[in-house]
Structure 1
């Protein structure tokens, strides 16, 4: 497996964890009532706290970014241009997403945008290596 494909797998795991965390924070899954709510149909979810709202939005943003990242990485792999520059862009994207989640959870708005832009730059590096 290439380094780029490894980062696709790592980012898929990170995306799943981000979505799960947002859901569990909103349901307060660490409590018995929250666990019961989380394993149920979630018909009567509580209004999200500010932290829960940020966690859910961060998870959704991570999912949206993962779709783009996976498409670019898989296209590079299929085209046979999955070289060091593509792998470097994949690493930049992945590590920026790792940093993005706690920054978003903490509500640090401007830094969150900078970290998101770094991830976007990783995607741009990957695309530039394919052209």
Structure 2
């Protein structure tokens, strides 16, 4: 089956996985720049040096992604497995993904309020996907 013929919710899930990996690599690169290659390659015993600025914000954005991704993935898989996808669930999956894309630079730049609004849009997207089950 071609990627383009998969349900839109599944395609958004695949893109969300790639986004998560991208966030992981970006956060890790900045973390290594701040803490040093020696810390990164070492056993990481004890308390790590604290992150600051953009590095700390990228780490928090990554952790926030992890807090929502499981809910998104479960909702998408349940909707597709039960054949309950529709235009609303497809829109919800797209809202989640694009809001998460926008969230990263907003958080990295330290922009308050708008970042929270974008987070709320991503959660609304999850709820729209989940609505397909009810």
TM-score under structure 1 normalisation?
0.87
- CA apart distance, 1:40: 4.2
Check conservation: 1:19, 1:60, Cα contact below 8 A.
no
Q: Following the alignment from structure 2 to structure 1, what is the Cα–Cα distance between the partners of residues 113 and 83?
A: 37
Q: Following the alignment from structure 1 to structure 2, what is the Cα–Cα distance between the partners of residues 39 and 24?
A: 12
Match of 1:73 in 2: 76
What's the Cα RMSD here? 1.8
TM-score under structure 2 normalisation?
0.86
Match of 2:67 in 1: 64
- CA apart distance, 1:34: 3.6
1:32-71 alpha-carbon deviations (Å, 9 max, x no partner): x944543443447432012111100100111221111000
Match of 2:43 in 1: 41
The alignment status of 1:11 with 2:24, answered yes or no, reads no
Structure 2 unmatched ranges of 5 or more = 1-5
- CA apart distance, 1:83: 2.0
1:14-44 alpha-carbon deviations (Å, 9 max, x no partner): 0111122112111118xxx944543443447
Q: How does 1:42-121 map to 2 (within 5 A)?
A: 42-43=44-45, 45-121=48-124
Check conservation: 1:24, 1:38, Cα contact below 8 A.
no
Q: Following the alignment from structure 2 to structure 1, what is the Cα–Cα distance between the partners of residues 43 and 115?
A: 32
Q: Following the alignment from structure 1 to structure 2, what is the Cα–Cα distance between the partners of residues 90 and 35?
A: 37
Greater percentage in helix? 1
Q: Following the alignment from structure 2 to structure 1, what is the Cα–Cα distance between the partners of residues 42 and 9?
A: 37
Matched residue SS, 2:132: helix
Q: Following the alignment from structure 1 to structure 2, what is the Cα–Cα distance between the partners of residues 53 and 82?
A: 37
